[in-house]
Structure 1
Amino acid sequence: MDGEKIQAMRDEIIGGNIERTLLKLAYPLILNNMVQVLYNLTDTFWLGRLGREELSAPGTAWPLVWFFMSIGMGFATAGFAFVSQYIGAKKYEEANRSAGALYSMMMLFSAFVAFFGIIIAPLALDFMNVTSEVYPYALSYIRIIFIGIPFSFTLFAFNFLLRAVGDTKTPVKINIFTIALNIILDPILIFGWFGFPRMGVVGAAVATMFSNSIGSIIGGYLLFKGRVGIHLTLETLKPDWDFYKRIFRVGLPSSVGFSTDALGFVVLTRVIYAYGTVAFATYTIANRLTNFMFAFANGISQAMGTMVGQNVGAEKYERAKEIAEKAMFTNFIILSVGTALVVIFRPQIFSFFINDEAVLAESARFIKYFAFSLPFFGILAAVSNVFQSAGHTKKAMILGILRLWTLRIPLAYSLGLFFNSTVGVWLGMGLSNLLTALVALAWFLRGSWMRRIIDH
């Protein structure tokens, strides 16, 4: 690990101007998120040219894919907490060993996930009550994505590790390259341009898998060559069962939280499909739009996580709290402005993706009954990030379960029946964001998260 480089980053994060440092760390992440959203929008645009069934396939597949990926994400979050707090405490060698243990753990775990995911995919789609028109497209998409899961996991690990040390620029450069490659490959493989076979939905999946694989290989090369703040070696990659236990202890609640969150979206997909393909196509496009707004808010939250993790490691708890509060306020303003723009330009935005009168009509109901909750979800996401970065992953897990299983799914299902319409589904989803955000803010202000984990 490059001690001088890491020390300089640490000093700025621990003692520098909060707003300036937050912006410095956030802007590459925002740029990265924007490019990712641009890819998602491009993907939606091209598949929308094929029809509403093809457009719905990735949206149907991703809750299941995300369920498995989120288990690994939980352990990556734990690794992030350890590495960032060790750096905050100036324990650089421990940070390097933690990074190696996390990377090797992710490689082992991802192989199992890929194998199991391919086998279980048909059963999961049956459970989600996917319409017969969408089913074959979704199944083909899922299987291709699962083949590339090991590369996705190690790319996650690379991003988390560099963000933990305060390097938000290097992962962004790699991600922008891979996403740009994905954007270029999408129409070529979907429509069979330049002599390639016309692959349709499968082409979109192959483009995603191939691009992630290239990004993972580049990230691994930089880590093993010591070109970034962390230097992995065969020695640091050797299984460290004692540290695996520590990652497991801290990461398990986070994995449970992320995976139950993702499983909740699998169930929610079933609820929405009860109202037909039009409802789910509308939901798929709306998800892309909310992701666009959250490109900014998530960038702020991720940068905040780096600063909170290192300040908690240095036992500067009041500074960590101040950083979090400023990030939350910024997110609320950003998402309020973004929501207002979507409300105003809704017809033009939705009709850009698909020329379908039924989807356009449904989008009016979605925006009317759900959009109000987005600024509040920005607060919830920031609080969850604070808890995870501080290593208090059980708190984040509880918030995730509260939002989806206690509130969103029961409300969306019951209000859908009450109104006998998607109005109830969209309203239930919105209320779950609002109510959980209020609980999260109250819990954050109590300050029980202001205790580091590396001494235990």
Structure 2
Amino acid sequence: MEFIRNNLSLNKSTVKDVLKLSLPAVVEMMLYTMIWTVDTMMLGQYGGDLAVSTVGISCEVIYTFTNILVAQSLSVGITSIVARRYGAKEYNIAEEYATIGVGLGAIVSFITTIFIFFFSKKLLIIAGAEPSIISLGKVYINIVCIGLPFNMLSSMLAAVNRSYGNTKTPMLVSIVMLIVNLTLDAILIFGLFGFPELGVAGAALATTIANIAGFTYSAIYTYKKSKIKIHAKYLKKLCGFKLKDITLLSIPAGMQEAAYSIARLLTSMMIMHLGTVAFAANQITLTLENISFMPGWGFAVAATTLVGNKVGEGDYKKAREYGRTAGILGLSVMLVFTLLFLIFPTQLIRMFISGESTEVITLGAACLMIAAAEQPMIAISMIVGGIFKGYGDTKTPFKIAFLTSWLIRLPLVFIFIYILESPITTFWFICLIQWTVDGSLLYIFYNKKLKPINNENIL
């Protein structure tokens, strides 16, 4: 009991620091998820499982690319390296890294958008979408692509602000985007106030305008008030080794996201093989699970920033304390979602689709109850991964993600879903296995590679 009490006791000032950074980050990501959630809910009421499946597979295609190349790669690299330079009080060097990272990201964003736009139909075909979904999905993707570069640039500016502990501004950006998207979704999907009824195209247009509005707010703030600013002079005298530093951190982080995202996309293709009812039930469950990810993501952001700042200062003991505190708090919050998914599965699924789709609701509720058991290990995986990144290690999380996604998840899904055509609930049992192994390995490797003082557990 003494061991448990010592490891669960938390320093009040450390808790305050972690919550100060993590809570705005949690709200930010919940609001970003709400943009997709609002699209899914409104389109579910407007067009049933066909509309839900269209937006689901289209978003999988879009965000697979943007997460791998920017949101979970360059943005992670920027936060990790700038946080440590800021902690070391090397402010000019921090700004140089930030500028190089955003400049590189702008180029990547433009190329990515052009690729997705011109190959949207082929990407949907590769993803295994049915003809009815392909025609709608192409329209959705092409409209969203108009605002996609602004979305990716916002992600990198948010990474710059987070690196010095400012998670409030990215949260405000997400509020702006949600308000714009929510308002325009209702107007453009259903054709309110004299506007044409655009359905799926209306949802895409609302998302595009919201992305542009969010970037505008973020760019103005970063230019005028950010402690770490973007200066064109650093691009004129581009430093090769700093570009290499960012790239070396970003590539493993991007590969980690690729391991998850590509596996998730391939999984979606195989699940689509089960039909639109199973796919719609799965997409709604994924949407709810994405909301549950947000606390874990927020505490992971706090861990990366606070640990990175303290590592930059050379205070490794405090870095470990911040990591441990973020882990305990994040795990506690995500256990709340475990209870919600177990107690109210049917009610939660009904929020996303009309009551007439009884088969989708029944399947979705069953999937959500299985997803409830994943929450603790997802929390450990996300937050410990964030701590690794604060130390500047993006390789270990990538290796574990590759193992669990490609050597556990995909083979099992191929056998049980694609070959044997087992019920969609089987897929969620596979996910439970994947996250259990993922979180356990990250925890074990962290305790071995980053040994704390007095042999205390890190979490």
CA distance 1:424–1:244, shift in 2 (3 Å):
same
Q: Deviations over 1:132-161 (max 9, x none)?
A: 332222222122222322111110011100
How many Å separate the matches in 2 of 1:369 and 1:413? 19
How many Å separate the matches in 2 of 1:117 and 1:135? 14
Q: For structure 1, list consecutive stretches of 5 or more residues without a partner in the other structure.
A: 1-14, 451-456
Shift in Å, 1:214: 1.6
How many Å separate the matches in 2 of 1:321 and 1:289? 32
Amino acid aligned to 2:18: L
Shift in Å, 1:438: 0.8
How many Å separate the matches in 1 of 2:320 and 2:388? 11
* Range with greater deviation from structure 2 (32-41 or 145-154): 32-41
Shift in Å, 1:83: 0.6
Query: Which residue, out of 59, 65, 89, partners 1:68?
Result: 65
Amino acid aligned to 1:217: T
How many Å separate the matches in 1 of 2:397 and 2:34? 29
Matched, 1:394 2:391: no
> SS where residue 148 of structure 1 aligns?
helix
> SS where residue 351 of structure 2 aligns?
helix
How many Å separate the matches in 1 of 2:237 and 2:375? 42
Matched, 1:188 2:190: no
What residue in structure 2 maps to residue 47 of structure 1? 43
How many Å separate the matches in 1 of 2:252 and 2:205? 32
Shift in Å, 1:447: 2.9
How many Å separate the matches in 2 of 1:21 and 1:336? 22
What residue in structure 1 maps to residue 447 of structure 2? 445
* Range with greater deviation from structure 2 (156-165 or 100-109): 100-109
Shift in Å, 1:239: 6.2
CA distance 1:207–1:238, shift in 2 (3 Å):
farther
How many Å separate the matches in 2 of 1:35 and 1:319? 31
Amino acid aligned to 1:102: G
Q: Deviations over 1:286-336 (max 9, x none)?
A: 122122222323222211221011112122223222222222222222222
How many Å separate the matches in 2 of 1:390 and 1:357? 48
Q: For structure 2, list consecutive stretches of 5 or more residues without a partner in the other structure.
A: 1-10, 453-459
Shift in Å, 1:279: 1.3
What residue in structure 2 maps to residue 453 of structure 1? none
* Range with greater deviation from structure 2 (91-100 or 24-33): 24-33
How many Å separate the matches in 2 of 1:342 and 1:336? 10
How many Å separate the matches in 1 of 2:331 and 2:222? 36
How many Å separate the matches in 2 of 1:151 and 1:412? 35
CA distance 1:185–1:158, shift in 2 (3 Å):
same
Matched, 1:26 2:22: yes
How many Å separate the matches in 1 of 2:42 and 2:369? 27
What residue in structure 2 maps to residue 113 of structure 1? 112
Matched, 1:306 2:305: yes
Equivalent runs, 1:170-185 vs 2, <5 Å: 170-185=169-184
Amino acid aligned to 1:442: I
How many Å separate the matches in 1 of 2:212 and 2:51? 24
CA distance 1:449–1:182, shift in 2 (3 Å):
farther
Shift in Å, 1:246: 1.9
What residue in structure 2 maps to residue 269 of structure 1? 268
How many Å separate the matches in 1 of 2:20 and 2:186? 35
Matched, 1:235 2:236: no
Equivalent runs, 1:5-154 vs 2, <5 Å: 17-49=13-45, 50-70=47-67, 71-73=69-71, 74-154=73-153
Shift in Å, 1:405: 1.1
Shift in Å, 1:449: 9.1
Asked whether the 8 Å contact 1:331–1:375 carries over to 2, the reply is no
* Range with greater deviation from structure 2 (413-422 or 18-27): 413-422
Equivalent runs, 1:319-330 vs 2, <5 Å: 319-330=318-329
How many Å separate the matches in 2 of 1:336 and 1:26? 17
Shift in Å, 1:364: 3.5
Matched, 1:422 2:419: no
Shift in Å, 1:241: 4.5
TM-score by structure 1 length? 0.90
- Percent identity reads 26
CA distance 1:389–1:58, shift in 2 (3 Å):
farther
How many Å separate the matches in 2 of 1:367 and 1:171? 30
Amino acid aligned to 2:279: F
Amino acid aligned to 1:233: H
Amino acid aligned to 2:123: A
How many Å separate the matches in 2 of 1:112 and 1:428? 35
What residue in structure 1 maps to residue 4 of structure 2? none
CA distance 1:361–1:150, shift in 2 (3 Å):
same
CA distance 1:127–1:188, shift in 2 (3 Å):
same
CA distance 1:41–1:112, shift in 2 (3 Å):
closer
Q: Deviations over 1:223-250 (max 9, x none)?
A: 233x221222331343625122221122
Q: Deviations over 1:10-55 (max 9, x none)?
A: xxxxx99211111111222222233334333322221011211101
What residue in structure 1 maps to residue 7 of structure 2? none
CA distance 1:124–1:247, shift in 2 (3 Å):
same
Asked whether the 8 Å contact 1:412–1:426 carries over to 2, the reply is no
TM-score by structure 2 length? 0.90
CA distance 1:238–1:194, shift in 2 (3 Å):
farther
What residue in structure 2 maps to residue 407 of structure 1? 408
Cα RMSD for the two superposed structures:
2.0
What residue in structure 2 maps to residue 7 of structure 1? none
- Count of aligned pairs: 435
Shift in Å, 1:162: 0.3
Amino acid aligned to 2:425: V
Asked whether the 8 Å contact 2:349–2:365 carries over to 1, the reply is no
What residue in structure 2 maps to residue 343 of structure 1? 342
Asked whether the 8 Å contact 2:296–2:378 carries over to 1, the reply is no
How many Å separate the matches in 2 of 1:202 and 1:441? 44
